[in-house]
Amino acid sequence: MDDIEQITEKIRKFRDERDWMQFHDPKNMAVSIILEASELLEHFQWKTTEEVERYARQNHAEIKDEIADIALYLFELADNLDISLINAMEDKLNKNEMRYPVEKAKGKHTKYDKL
């Protein structure tokens, strides 16, 4: 069993011991992912790129926790919808390879539909 399966198994156990599946429909899960992503972003509010880089190094434990919060909900949502996270990511990376050919996209942050 690989590590994504292992942690997903632990998430399921944590949730089911608390009888929380009743709250974890996809809409509530998507809301929770946004809320956790906001907590991550709040650490960087008003800061310049330089301040952000320094802050992230000096507050490593807090940032790690915020990233974990997002991941815990994201892994569970994928599991609830029978989505293999790795498979989904590989498919999307392949799609992005087509959308952003190296020769056109290199060094630019333009969205694919305007490239």
In whole angstroms, how close is the CB of 92 to a second copy at the nearest point? 4
Dump the DSSP string for 21-79. GGG--HHHHHHHHHHHHHHHHHTTTT--HHHHHHHHHHTHHHHHHHHHHHHHHHHHHHH
In whole angstroms, how close is the CB of 68 to a second copy at the nearest point? 4
Distance between CA atoms of 36 and 42, rounded to whole angstroms? 10
Give the SS3 label for residue 12: helix
Question: Which one of 4, 12, 62, 99 is in contact with a second copy (CB under 8 A)?
Answer: 4
In whole angstroms, how close is the CB of 90 to a second copy at the nearest point? 7
In whole angstroms, how close is the CB of 75 to a second copy at the nearest point? 7
# binding residues, a second copy (CB under 8 A): 72
Q: Which element (helix H / strand E) includes 86?
A: helix 85-99
Distance between CA atoms of 82 and 58, rounded to whole angstroms? 38
Report the site for a second copy in 42-101 (rule: CB under 8 A).
Answer: 42-47, 49, 52-53, 56, 60, 63-65, 67-72, 74-75, 77-78, 81, 83, 85-86, 88-93, 95-97, 100
Question: Which one of 27, 58, 98, 114 is in contact with a second copy (CB under 8 A)?
Answer: 27
